Amino acid sequence: MPTSHQENHSELTWPIEGVARVPYQVFFDPAIYELEQERLFRGPVWNYVGLEAELPHSGDFKATFVGDTPIVVTRDQEGALHAFVNRCAHRGALVCRELRGNRATHVCVYHQWSYDLKGNLIGIPFRKGIEGKGGYAADFSPTQHSLHKLRAATYDGLIFVSFAEDVEPLAEYIGPTMRPWLDKIFHRPVRVLGYARQLINGNWKLYAENVRDPYHGSLLHLFSATFGLARSSQGGGTLMDEVGRHDILHAHRRTEAQETAAYTNEGLRSYQAKYSLADPSLLKARPEFQDDITTSIHTIFPCLVVQRISNTLAARQFLPKGPDKFELIFTLLGYEDDDEEIRNIRLKQANLVGPAGFISLEDGHAIELVQQAIVHDKTACSFIEFGGREVASQDSLVTEAAIRGFWQYYRRLMGFNESQRGGGNHAK
């Protein structure tokens, strides 16, 4: 039976063309946003929340979000990871008010209920009242008032949490297609080099599309095309798991002559051979993997992107902040045993890719342009037929197949079926 909440959400008709169309309503409707929090972020998914490298010691913690629900991740005295909703079991205040740190206990500032690193209630001021008056009754049981605990699991040092009891084990969720690609990046211990945060005035799913969209890379990001960071003439493709929810977008090095010929043959404006950088050190890379890959973007549903662009490595987490806003957080990574030269290359290139550089600035702006244009019109849809209408991995960078894959899985979780009123539909 649909719950009353499901019955109340706004109507949604998904066009008969299926995943080759997306109704713009999903990007602005507050009722759909609410339903996503319940069915998707609190549904049978693993949400990325951080890296083990961010919490190396007992007592280390990190505050973040699952969807827009605040949570805390901790490492306990035995070294195990825990996660709980950052909401006091007394009257609902945010317990942890810092982004990161180290504490033996977490104390709510309002009435000072205190919790251990597993989220258990361990301290209650005036529990028995004062001089026999007030306080809690004798049958008050602290064990009934823990913080709301989530499941936590790790893969390759990436920490994921889930509200759901019925989600598959994390390694299965990531799946056999994605795992070797993550294993390759996280083959030795990583170190956090820093963070970059970007607030983008657009719906979070526009970013889920953007990171699965290989062909804007050389068109929107003219800098990348001009200076050879990303060209659609490169070899590469998009590789999905069997349900289309995760994706690897990979681009491979070709010779300068091959790329220039491919570009000039197509007459694309974005290849400007006459330009050069006054300081080419920005693009100076050092080969470090035994492959010819220049870029691989690994997207784990719903909100993690593991980035390898030239020598930059990063975990990107994107967090919805309402229907028309999301925060994009880059955790920039190197390896623990990096020498100074490679660390400096990573830091310099991070400026190119991140919010203060060209690439993420331009992605954020493109997303805001969409959000500004799609207001009100619930029947209008986007058109996603580049590279066909199917959801299938492709050996090409000129395709929107992985975007269709995202929508295929999104619709399954949300219960939005084709050309039906969406209110009572169940997720399959």
Min dist. Cβ of residue 96 to ligand FES (A): 11
- Find out whether 171 and 365 touch, Cβ atoms under 8 Å: no
Pick the closer one to Fe ion by CB: 209 or 363. 363
Give yes or no for a contact between 313 and 23, defined as CB atoms under 8 angstroms apart.
no
Helices (H) and strands (E) in the chain, counts: 9, 19
Residues that bind Fe ion (CB under 5 A): 363
Based on CB atoms, which residue is closest to ligand FES, 48 or 113?
113
Which partner, Fe ion, ligand FES, none, binds residue 268 by CB below 5 to 8 Å per kind? none
Q: Is the omega angle on the peptide bond into residue 302 within 30 degrees of 0, that is, cis?
A: yes
| C-alpha span between 387 and 20 (Å, rounded) | 10
111 is a contact residue toward ligand FES (CB under 6 A)? yes
For residue 269, state whether it binds ligand FES (rule: CB under 6 A): no
Which partner, Fe ion, ligand FES, none, binds residue 110 by CB below 5 to 8 Å per kind? ligand FES
Sign of CA dihedral 263, 269, 274, 277: negative
Q: Under 8 Å CB-to-CB from 133, ≥6 apart: which residues?
A: none
How far apart are CB 335 and ligand FES at their closest, in Å?
A: 41
Of 8, 79, 104, 110, the residue at the interface with ligand FES (CB under 6 A) is 110
The closest of 289, 278, 287 to 186, measured between CA atoms, is: 289
Q: Six-digit token pair at 371? A: 């959000």
Q: Please say which residue, 98 or 183, places its beta carbon nearer to ligand FES.
A: 98
Rounded to the nearest whole angstrom, what is the least distance from the CB of residue 252 to Fe ion in the complex? 18
Q: How do beta strands 304-309 and 293-300 pair? A: antiparallel
Residue 113 touching ligand FES (CB under 6 A): yes
Binding partner selected for residue 363 from Fe ion, ligand FES, none, CB under the kind-specific 5 to 8 Å limit: Fe ion
User: Does the footprint of ligand FES cover residue 108 (CB under 6 A)?
Assistant: yes
Residue 362: Cβ-neighbour burial (10 angstroms; 0-12, 13-18, 19+):
middle
Is residue 140 a contact residue for ligand FES (CB under 6 A)?
no
Size, binding site for ligand FES by CB under 6 A: 10
Q: Is 285 helix (H, G, I), strand (E, B) or coil?
A: coil
Q: Tell me the window of 108-116, 169-177, 244-252, 328-336 that interacts with ligand FES (CB under 6 A).
A: 108-116
Q: Does 115 bind ligand FES (CB under 6 A)?
A: no
Of positions 88, 313, 384, 401, contacts ligand FES by CB under 6 A: 88
361 is an interface residue for ligand FES by CB under 6 A = no
- The answer for residues whose C-beta is within 8 angstroms of residue 101's C-beta and 6 or more apart is 60, 61
Q: Which is closer to ligand FES, CB of 102 or CB of 112?
A: 112
Q: How many CA atoms lie within 13 A of 166 on its CB side?
A: 4
DSSP 249-280: EEEE---HHHHHHHHHHHT-TT--TT---SSG
Of the candidates 304, 303, 49, 36, the residue with the CA atom closest to the CA atom of residue 151: 49
Which C-beta is closer to Fe ion: that of 51 or that of 367? Answer: 367
CB of 41 to ligand FES, least distance (A): 24
Residue with Cβ nearer ligand FES (113 or 318): 113
Residue 91 beta carbon to ligand FES: minimum distance, rounded to whole angstroms? 4
Q: 342 by DSSP, 3-state: which?
A: helix
Q: Which residues bind ligand FES (CB under 6 A)?
A: 88, 90-93, 108, 110-113
